[in-house]
Amino acid sequence: MPMTSLVEPAPAKLNLALHVTGRRADGYHLLDSLVCFASVGDELHLSPGPLSLSIDGPFGEGLAPDDDNLCLRAARLSGAEAAIRLTKNLPVASGIGGGSADAAAVLRGLLRMGYELPPDLQRLGADVPVCLASASARMQGIGEHVTPLPALPVLHLVLANPAVALSTPQVFAMMEQRENPPLPKIPDFGTAGELIRWLRGTRNDLEEPARRLAPVIGEVLAALDATGAGFARMSGSGATCFGIFDSVGRAAESAGILARQGWWAVATELAQPLVPG
């Protein structure tokens, strides 16, 4: 077990496409999603010691280090003792997996400290299994079936959130059509253009109900389009939207314009594969 602190990134999760294909008897929805991860994210610091959690970072004040925090729930499920520091860079309840990504990062850190992965990860959150590898994947079932995909092409992304927190259960509850067709066949994408053409034949089935709860999402999508996105869509249950741009420069310019609206907006790219160490 290392005596010094170790750092685990918790990359933001993006649902490039998210089809809701049905609902189980327990109320959870069946999903079919193309998921990828951005290099922007939270950061977890773990060191040996009694179990504790402190939180800092730009969005740290919106989140209590209490027993419900997914970082502590993940550590308790592993039976682990560790001092955890979470640097919260991502807005909370924003459709980019923050809590699930944090829980998965804690589990990866604990693995490096010699603890085992606990069973039944989904008790922590539907997105935890896909966030564990934090690599592009097709996610099905309620999130438990994760099929890794070949690396996606280079993407110049902007993530933008209009400072509106959306409750995932509330967005699901607003859905009117819960049985939709699955994703079309996912090919190997050679270029961003090929990926965008494929995305145009897909949906985020949560976008319409989320937009009824928070119409400002429509303004974010329009602003991404107006600042040159080749494609823009909401991620997860919202309200964060992503735009795909031609170049780093155009993405940075768009993020600057959107941030001047008072929105959280960052230019980013796909996360590098996680390297344990």
Ligand X SMILES: Nc1ncnc2c1ncn2[C@@H]1O[C@H](COP(=O)(O)OP(=O)(O)OP(=O)(O)O)[C@@H](O)[C@H]1O
Ligand Y SMILES: C[C@](O)(CO)[C@H](O)COP(=O)(O)OP(=O)(O)OC[C@H]1O[C@@H](n2ccc(N)nc2=O)[C@H](O)[C@@H]1O
Give the per-residue contact string, 214-243, with ligand Y (x = CB under 6 A; - = no): ----------------------xx------
Q: At what angle do helices 98-112 and 70-77 cross, to 10 degrees?
A: 40
> Which one of residues 69, 134, 202, 227 is an interface residue with ligand X (CB under 6 A)?
69
Q: Report the chain's terminal Cα–Cα distance, integer Å.
A: 12
Closest distance to ligand Y from the beta carbon of 236 (Å) = 3
Q: Which of 5, 21, 28, 83 binds ligand Y (CB under 6 A)?
A: 28
CA distance 96 to 241: 9
The single residue among 109, 143, 209, 243 that binds ligand Y, judged by CB under 6 A, is 143
Residue 106 CB, shortest distance to ligand X, in Å, is 9
Among positions 140-169, residues that touch ligand X (CB under 6 A) are 168
Angle value at C-alpha 156, between 152 and 162, nearest 5 degrees: 115
> Any catalytic annotation for residue 88?
no
At 85, give phi and psi (nearest 5°): -120, 125
Q: Rounded to the nearest whole angstrom, what is the least distance from the CB of residue 214 to ligand X in the complex? A: 12
**Upstream peptide bond of 239 is cis (omega within 30 degrees of 0):** yes
- Residue 49 annotated as part of some ligand binding site: no
Tokens of residue 174, six digits: 């607003």
Q: Which of these ranges, 29-37, 54-62, 105-113, 190-198, lies near ligand Y under the rule CB under 6 A?
A: 29-37
> Least CB distance from residue 63 to ligand X, whole Å?
6
Question: Interface residues for ligand Y in 76-135 (CB under 6 A)?
Answer: 95, 100, 125-127
Whole-angstrom Cα distance, residue 122 to residue 130? 10
Q: Residue 234 interacts with ligand X (CB under 6 A)? A: no
CA dist 22 and 128 (Å) reads 20
* Whether 46 contacts 82, CB under 8 Å: yes
Long-range contacts of the stretch 143-152 (C-beta < 8 A, 24+): 143/31, 149/34, 149/186, 150/188, 152/36, 152/189, 152/195, 152/270
From the list 27-35, 108-116, 149-157, 260-268, the region that binds ligand Y by CB under 6 A is 27-35
Q: Is 127 a catalytic residue?
A: yes
Contact segment (CB under 6 A) with ligand X among 66-74, 116-124, 146-154, 188-196 equals 66-74
Closest to ligand Y by CB, 6 vs 93, is: 93
Q: Please, which residues have CB within 8 angstroms of residue 208's CB and are 6 or more apart in sequence?
A: none
Q: Which of 18, 44, 71, 135 binds ligand X (CB under 6 A)?
A: 71
Rounded CA-CA distance 79/84 in Å is: 14
52 annotated to a ligand binding site: no
| DSSP alpha helix (H) spans, the chain | 70-77, 98-112, 128-133, 168-173, 192-199, 207-213, 216-226, 248-259
Q: Residues annotated in the binding site for ATP, as ranges?
A: 91-101
In the complex, which residues of this chain contact ligand Y (CB under 6 A)? 15, 18, 28-29, 31, 33, 95, 100, 125-127, 142-143, 168-169, 172, 236-237
Which residues are designated catalytic?
Answer: 13, 127
Give me the residues that bind ligand X (CB under 6 A), please.
Answer: 63, 68-71, 92-100, 102, 127, 168, 236-237
Binding site residues, as ranges? 91-101
